[in-house]
Amino acid sequence: MSKKNFNKKNLYIKIVIIVGVVFLVLFILFVLLSPKLTINGDRELKLEYGNKYKEPGYEATFFGKDISNKVHVNGKVNNKKLGSYEIKYKVRKNMIVITKKRIVDVIDSKKPDIKLKGGENVDVCPDKEYSELGYDAIDNYDGNITKKVKIEKEENKVIYKVSDSSGNSCKVVRNYIKQDKTKPKITLKGSNKMTIIVNNSYKEPGYSAIDNCDKDITKNVKVYGKVNNNSVGTYKVTYEVSDKAGNKESVTREVKVEKSYPRVSGNMSCGSPGVIYLTFDDGPNPTTTPTILDTLKRHGVKATFFVVGRVASGNKNLLRREVNEGHAIGIHTWSHDYSIVYRSSDNFWNEINKTAKLIKDETGKDTKLIRFPGGASNTVSRHYNIGIMSRLSNEVISKGYNYYDWNISSGDASSNSLAVKTEINNVTKNLSKNRGNVVLMHDIKKSTMNAIDGIIQYGKDNGYSFDVLNHGISCKQGVAN
């Protein structure tokens, strides 16, 4: 090799070294002058679908000085959409830019959920095959995936499987046993607590029995217990049935046989003790009512007239006189014809309303007093409509009216020629100081026209007072004669 060549090669080496040193210096300067950027947490994060993305943070320094606030962050994570999202972090210092990135994968790792209708352990009727009770499959991402459920059947079990679009799967098992442990159900027609009035007939209102496996087994129901409708008391009627599997059910109906109430006489009390409430039904009558009004006036006694609307409409002057002289007016229906009045609740109320309107038009009075033709316990009405008296009694109260029977009967309805002495005695012998005395009379009867003077005189002589019925007076049982 010549000396010239040697020198030339030396020159190349020198240049390479110089260039290398320059680059090294530049690199060191670059490293020294670069800002430092660190991102916290993993560079690749997994975020469950729906969960909120929380930035794990980052730090930037330059020569030990915190310049984190100079960092620019770019990129967004949509937590409602599966996918990969890139977040870029960038910081710039002295013309030098440093960038880092983080990948956030929004994933669905939650299993779908299968809900079994009827539960995971069910009974199947012994003589039946299992029939599917239904199910729902819900996934947090896919929503309702019931249609994707696959069913496998094994002995005494059903297996339900489903996978969501992300491959998460769920499996539930329903076990069933062929057995019947459910009692049949007995349903009573009518109330399980009934009341009938003594001597009225008791008729079984009926029942039905349904079993979960055997269906209608009404014909297997056995009925125990007897109601003695002729004797006051509380009776139990028991209904019993068993299904094929031997599950037994029984229910009881309580039937109360009660005294008739209110009654013609006896231990019922109305109003104040020692008071006589004279009541006159079926009028007003042009022959007898004026004399009765005269007698009451002479004694200064007020009474209660339960007028029949049809009759009063022909004797309006007497209706007005009764009110003008301070007596109370009550409603005794329009026709007093049992076959009409007690045919239906509508009939009854039509008659009450029509009579109430007549009284209001003629006298200006609104009356809330009612007396049922035959009394509230009459047994005639049931020829027209069984049970109507108890329905009407309730309706009267619920519509704001009140009805009154009596605890003393003058007996004037029994005959057209009752002896006056007998009628006076019928009333006076039953008067009591321990209760209010509601006296039933009819102002259409001549015997009554002639008897009331004696009745009033007896009452006055024996320390009784007289008053009219009003809506506030109540009657109750259980007060001694």
- The footprint of Zn ion (CB under 5 A) covers 281-282, 373
CA dihedral 245, 247, 248, 249 (to 10 degrees): -120
To the nearest whole angstrom, how small is the minimum distance from the Cβ of residue 247 to Zn ion?
56
d(CA 126, CA 178) in angstroms, rounded, equals: 5
Return all residues near 316 (Cβ < 8 A) that are at least 6 apart: 362
Q: In Å, how far from its chain's centre is CA 141?
A: 40
DSSP element (H, E) containing 23: helix 3-33
Please say which residue, 58 or 306, places its beta carbon nearer to Zn ion. 306
Please say which residue, 58 or 406, places its beta carbon nearer to Zn ion. 406
**Token pair recorded at residue 403:** 């009805």
Please say which residue, 237 or 449, places its beta carbon nearer to Zn ion. 449
To the nearest whole angstrom, how small is the minimum distance from the Cβ of residue 378 to Zn ion?
10
The full DSSP string for 341-359 is HTT-HHHHHHHHHHHHHHH
The one-letter amino acid code at 254 reads: E
Please say which residue, 135 or 342, places its beta carbon nearer to Zn ion. 342
Please say which residue, 104 or 307, places its beta carbon nearer to Zn ion. 307
To the nearest whole angstrom, how small is the minimum distance from the Cβ of residue 213 to Zn ion?
59
CA atoms within 13 A on the CB side of 284: 25
To the nearest whole angstrom, how small is the minimum distance from the Cβ of residue 197 to Zn ion?
20
d(CA 136, CA 116) in angstroms, rounded, equals: 7
To the nearest whole angstrom, how small is the minimum distance from the Cβ of residue 447 to Zn ion?
16
Question: Can you give the length of the chain in residues?
Answer: 481
d(CA 196, CA 260) in angstroms, rounded, equals: 9
Q: In Å, how far from its chain's centre is CA 383?
A: 36
To the nearest whole angstrom, how small is the minimum distance from the Cβ of residue 347 to Zn ion?
16
To the nearest whole angstrom, how small is the minimum distance from the Cβ of residue 473 to Zn ion?
20
To the nearest whole angstrom, how small is the minimum distance from the Cβ of residue 333 to Zn ion?
8
d(CA 51, CA 36) in angstroms, rounded, equals: 31
Please say which residue, 242 or 335, places its beta carbon nearer to Zn ion. 335
Chain residue at closest Cβ approach to Zn ion: 281
Identify the CA nearest to 108 among candidates 158, 169, 57: 169
Please say which residue, 282 or 467, places its beta carbon nearer to Zn ion. 282
Task: Judge residue 78's burial from the number of C-beta atoms within 10 Å of its C-beta, 0-12 exposed, 13-18 middle, 19 or more buried.
Answer: exposed
Identify the CA nearest to 189 among candidates 249, 253, 285: 253
DSSP element (H, E) containing 395: helix 388-398
Identify the CA nearest to 296 among candidates 321, 314, 274: 321
DSSP element (H, E) containing 421: helix 420-428
Please say which residue, 184 or 373, places its beta carbon nearer to Zn ion. 373
Please say which residue, 112 or 373, places its beta carbon nearer to Zn ion. 373
To the nearest whole angstrom, how small is the minimum distance from the Cβ of residue 426 to Zn ion?
17
